[in-house]
Structure 1
Amino acid sequence: MKKIKNFENKKVLVLGLAKSGESAARVLSRLGAIVTVNDGKPFDENPAAQDLLAEGIKVVTGGHPLALLDEAFELMVKNPGIPYENPMVVRAIEKKIPIITEVELAYLISESPIIGITGSNGKTTTTTLIADILNRDNQSAKLSGNIGFPASDVASKSSADETLIMELSSFQLMGIDQFRPKIAIITNVFSAHLDYHGSQENYETAKWRIQENMTTADFLVLNFNQAKLREKASHTNATVVGFSTTEKVDNGAYVMNGQIFFRDEKIMAVADLSLPGSHNLENALAAICASKLSGVSNQAIVSILTTFSGVKHRLQYLGKKSNIIFYNDSKATNILATQKALSGFDNSSLWLLAGGLDRGNGFDELATDIANLKGMIVFGETAPKLRDLAETLGIPVFDSENVARAAELAFEKADENDTVLLSPANASWDQYKTFEQRGDMFIQAVAKLKEKKN
């Protein structure tokens, strides 16, 4: 960790705890800042605040009193999830208090080069692939950022001979100033988080900030399958490296005749990728770009891309029982995510498990994607809607009370060499606290099936 003087004796307000706020408070304190933490959760229900107080850091909990900002703070480190319309943030802006997110702090203290990954979909898979590939090549890579490991905490413990592989959300990127990754990736840009950003334009602007401090010495990896990202290539100072599944890219990764190439060098066959789906082919191309730019051997790339079983709950391969294959894609909380998952399978031998929270939408746009499915198991509040769609298309459909029973039912109905895919197309909150809890129940159900004797 760089022993920077930027924060010495500066009054800093950390707004919002969670993992990133807790990490930021500790790092700032070590750097000599006079830190105050403000979190809405009451003190007696707030173990993180209790720990920080015990370490000598001032905490204000149970609400966000505007009067706190009268204490002449010189900086606010804001939890990314707190919107800029929050009264505390609005008041800070009025007082001209600079506002950053914790990833900016991580950059300022990091001795390690950073590979930053953002995008609407595929961030976590791409981030994990890159880290696994670099580590397989004996380059020390550490996961950080939006993937669950606070960036400032990881940066504080990393050295110059390591690389931070940092997943970055649009929320985090709105709070950067000097942040500059050595390699940046934008996997894709779709409509998302409009309730936070207010418009698609604002959302895309936030994503594009990942490259704003980059120079020609840095590399910006863009998805050339998307016209809007291809057009952006001429609006950056970074050296652009593209990837595409549909055409040759001179300076980047592409697919031709069933083979994957990087700058005209053959890397591997598409058919050898362990993860199914066109979206995962894009993720693999993005990971190959970052890996080759980092000097990684083809052997390490192929080793990971042919064996990677997926990030948990994101098209995660769970193995076989009686030659029936199971995949857990509980992270598919909307129709688009399920459409992408379905693109990687043969519908004629596929059983789709779907359903969840009813947000009032229909599912007609799924019709083309689920045509000719072997069968469907539906559950949750949207089960009736999904059942009606399946019946309209002539797809065998069965009801289940939850995903555990859905796994059992699919196994009972499936034939040898069929695939069972949990890809709900719905949020989980009607029956489960999180998509992780839903996916864990499915994983446990499949594990029990595998333990049973044939």
Structure 2
Amino acid sequence: MKNDDILKALDTRFSLNKQNSKVIVVGLGITGLSVAKFLHNLGLQFAMVDSRKNPPFNDELLAEMPDVAVFTDGFDPAVFDVATHIIVSPGVSMQEPIIQQTIARGARSLSDIDLFACAVDKPVVTITGSNGKSTVTTLLGDMAKAANKKVAVGGNLGIPALDLLNDEIEIYILELSSFQLERTSQLNAVAATVLNISADHMDRYANLDAYIEQKHKVYAGNGVMLINLDCPYAASIKPSNRDVLTFSLKGNADYCVIETANGRSLAFHGRAIFPVDKLLISGVHNQSNALAALALGAVIGLPETAMCAALGRFKGLKHRMQFVANINEVCWVNDSKATNVGACVAALQGFKDSSVVLIAGGDAKAADMSDLVSVLQEKVKALLLIGKDSQLIQQAVNDCIPVLDVGTLKKAVKKAQTIAQAGDTVLLSPACASLDQFANYKERGAQFVAEVKALEQ
């Protein structure tokens, strides 16, 4: 879209214009930087604010936009007082008092996704969920590429939505988090889904119902709603006057898994599409992810042959059930991206009984760790805990299996080597965020891989 058309949309939807608007962008991370570039390109007045003394993209911003005002090391009320609009990055809580006060006095709140929605005139697919959203987003992008579509993939995954904007793109595929959805009002995707919901980010939401409410915002607009019938929380949405598709691992949905003469198969309305045993991504949860990708791809007109070709090549994501090594007949698997209880449960369900030495722990985000108990009792022979909430987890699981608090990932790997026997799996699936000990889940996973590789030497 041309800048004049984008400015017209922003003025119509948010009364955001060059003449009368002063925008405060809160948070100078990767999303905040993308917002700054977007606003600067349109010639809109804005300033950047970050509570940190040295925000990660401060130098890059000043090099590219030296004329932009930047306020760091706290939130100065005088800066917020002049704002007509406020854009809060997903990593910053909307409950910050200064943000609440700014909105209460009349400043319009919007998000980077709102800006994106005002600047895009091509089909957009949006994907959220407690788990699996990165896998489905990436897989659907691969399917679109296999169909020779010019596709842009990002959002919460990798590249910020605003940095994806390009007139040559034919389809946009966005992964969206609850933090992005809670501050967004302009979504209207051609297809959207909530893959699943389990308790997550309970340190940011009053209760599970509040979290569910934010996830369901992905369905705003009038596009096709894809609903997972296997998840009561995801399926609790009540669509009205909307086109709806469903998926399930059972046989009661549009997209499901069926038994055929040649084994289990992904299917559409009972017609086999892709054999389950040809999937390179392991676990029942990944069968569900594959169904969701096939359904979303069908909505945007991707040929089934192209989608199946991409599905047959897809090996999954790094740090998500990633095979690392087989040492003395013990398999080592990196699932560092399992940052909540639901992801850890899904990972464990794919293993045989009592065969897993599990490494877990970190920042539990106020989640109820007792939800792990039943799957731990069934699948895990020993639990090795790391990170700041290790004692909380140990209390929650109440010694239902042998538990050792080892503190660090390095120590956990060494201890796991002494416990695991031939035929076992050592699984890093933390069920927690990583920020107490690592920069992110990727750094945590990379350290695990390095420590395991060192055992081979």
Q: TM-score range by the shorter chain?
A: 0.7 to 0.9
Question: C-alpha displacement at 1:185, in angstroms?
Answer: 1.1
Q: Matches of 2:312 and 2:26 in 1, distance apart?
A: 43
Counterpart code for 1:224: L
Q: Matches of 1:105 and 1:126 in 2, distance apart?
A: 24
**Is residue 2:191 matched to residue 1:187?**
no
Question: C-alpha displacement at 1:398, in angstroms?
Answer: 7.4
User: 1:102 corresponds to which residue?
Assistant: 112
User: 2:242 corresponds to which residue?
Assistant: 238
The equivalent position to 1:254 in structure 2, one of 249, 253, 256, is 256
Question: C-alpha displacement at 1:358, in angstroms?
Answer: 8.1
**Is residue 2:210 matched to residue 1:202?**
yes
Question: C-alpha displacement at 1:113, in angstroms?
Answer: 1.9
Q: Matches of 2:176 and 2:48 in 1, distance apart?
A: 23
**Per-residue deviation, residues 27-72 of structure 1 (Å, max 9, x unmatched):** 1111121122222233698324533552x2222223222222343x
1:347 counterpart SS class: coil
Matches for 1:136-151 after TM superposition, within 5 Å: 136-151=146-161
Query: CA contact under 8 A between 2:349 and 2:379: conserved in structure 1?
Result: no
Q: Matches of 1:108 and 1:67 in 2, distance apart?
A: 29
User: 2:50 corresponds to which residue?
Assistant: 39
Question: C-alpha displacement at 1:145, in angstroms?
Answer: 0.9
User: 2:142 corresponds to which residue?
Assistant: 132
1:85 counterpart SS class: coil
1:371 counterpart SS class: helix
Query: CA contact under 8 A between 2:28 and 2:55: conserved in structure 1?
Result: no
Query: Residues 224 and 377 of structure 1: is their aligned pair in 2 closer, same or farther, counting only changes over 3 Å?
Result: closer
Counterpart code for 1:308: F
TM-score, normalisation: structure 2: 0.84
**Is residue 2:78 matched to residue 1:67?**
yes
The equivalent position to 1:435 in structure 2, one of 441, 446, 457, is 441
Query: CA contact under 8 A between 1:41 and 1:62: conserved in structure 2?
Result: yes
Which segment drifts farther, 260-269 or 374-383?
Answer: 374-383
1:107 counterpart SS class: helix
Question: C-alpha displacement at 1:385, in angstroms?
Answer: 7.2
The equivalent position to 2:282 in structure 1, one of 259, 276, 285, is 276
**Is residue 2:172 matched to residue 1:168?**
no
Question: C-alpha displacement at 1:328, in angstroms?
Answer: 0.7
**Per-residue deviation, residues 344-363 of structure 1 (Å, max 9, x unmatched):** 11135443333446899996
Which segment drifts farther, 144-153 or 353-362?
Answer: 353-362
Query: Residues 428 and 88 of structure 1: is their aligned pair in 2 closer, same or farther, counting only changes over 3 Å?
Result: closer
Q: Matches of 1:398 and 1:331 in 2, distance apart?
A: 22
Query: CA contact under 8 A between 2:249 and 2:257: conserved in structure 1?
Result: yes
Query: CA contact under 8 A between 2:152 and 2:169: conserved in structure 1?
Result: no
**Is residue 2:38 matched to residue 1:27?**
yes
Counterpart code for 1:226: C
Query: Residues 242 and 110 of structure 1: is their aligned pair in 2 closer, same or farther, counting only changes over 3 Å?
Result: same
Question: C-alpha displacement at 1:290, in angstroms?
Answer: 0.9
Question: C-alpha displacement at 1:388, in angstroms?
Answer: 12
Query: CA contact under 8 A between 2:201 and 2:366: conserved in structure 1?
Result: no
**Per-residue deviation, residues 123-143 of structure 1 (Å, max 9, x unmatched):** 112111211222233222222
Query: Residues 50 and 188 of structure 1: is their aligned pair in 2 closer, same or farther, counting only changes over 3 Å?
Result: same
Question: C-alpha displacement at 1:414, in angstroms?
Answer: 4.7
Query: Residues 307 and 409 of structure 1: is their aligned pair in 2 closer, same or farther, counting only changes over 3 Å?
Result: farther
User: 1:118 corresponds to which residue?
Assistant: 128
**Is residue 2:372 matched to residue 1:366?**
yes
**Per-residue deviation, residues 365-389 of structure 1 (Å, max 9, x unmatched):** 5343233657436243638976997
Query: CA contact under 8 A between 2:199 and 2:342: conserved in structure 1?
Result: no
Identity across aligned pairs (percent)? 30
Question: C-alpha displacement at 1:24, in angstroms?
Answer: 0.7
Query: Residues 111 and 384 of structure 1: is their aligned pair in 2 closer, same or farther, counting only changes over 3 Å?
Result: closer
Task: Give unpaired runs (5+ residues) of structure 2.
Answer: 11-15
Q: Matches of 1:362 and 1:98 in 2, distance apart?
A: 35
Aligned length: 439
Counterpart code for 1:197: Y
The equivalent position to 2:23 in structure 1, one of 12, 17, 30, is 12
User: 2:13 corresponds to which residue?
Assistant: none
Query: CA contact under 8 A between 2:155 and 2:174: conserved in structure 1?
Result: yes
Which segment drifts farther, 123-132 or 276-285?
Answer: 276-285
Counterpart code for 1:369: V
1:63 counterpart SS class: coil
2:386 counterpart SS class: coil
Counterpart code for 1:86: E
Question: C-alpha displacement at 1:188, in angstroms?
Answer: 1.4
Which segment drifts farther, 141-150 or 420-429?
Answer: 420-429
Query: CA contact under 8 A between 1:8 and 1:31: conserved in structure 2?
Result: no
User: 2:431 corresponds to which residue?
Assistant: 425
Q: Matches of 1:201 and 1:245 in 2, distance apart?
A: 25
Counterpart code for 2:85: L
Q: Matches of 2:322 and 2:216 in 1, distance apart?
A: 29
Query: Residues 296 and 15 of structure 1: is their aligned pair in 2 closer, same or farther, counting only changes over 3 Å?
Result: same
The equivalent position to 1:376 in structure 2, one of 382, 388, 405, is 382
**Is residue 2:304 matched to residue 1:298?**
yes
Query: CA contact under 8 A between 2:212 and 2:233: conserved in structure 1?
Result: no
TM-score, normalisation: structure 1: 0.84
Query: CA contact under 8 A between 1:247 and 1:255: conserved in structure 2?
Result: yes
The equivalent position to 2:231 in structure 1, one of 226, 231, 236, is 226
Query: CA contact under 8 A between 1:342 and 1:369: conserved in structure 2?
Result: yes
Query: Residues 407 and 271 of structure 1: is their aligned pair in 2 closer, same or farther, counting only changes over 3 Å?
Result: farther
Question: C-alpha displacement at 1:169, in angstroms?
Answer: 1.4
1:142 counterpart SS class: strand
Query: Residues 400 and 245 of structure 1: is their aligned pair in 2 closer, same or farther, counting only changes over 3 Å?
Result: same
Matches for 1:342-361 after TM superposition, within 5 Å: 342-356=348-362
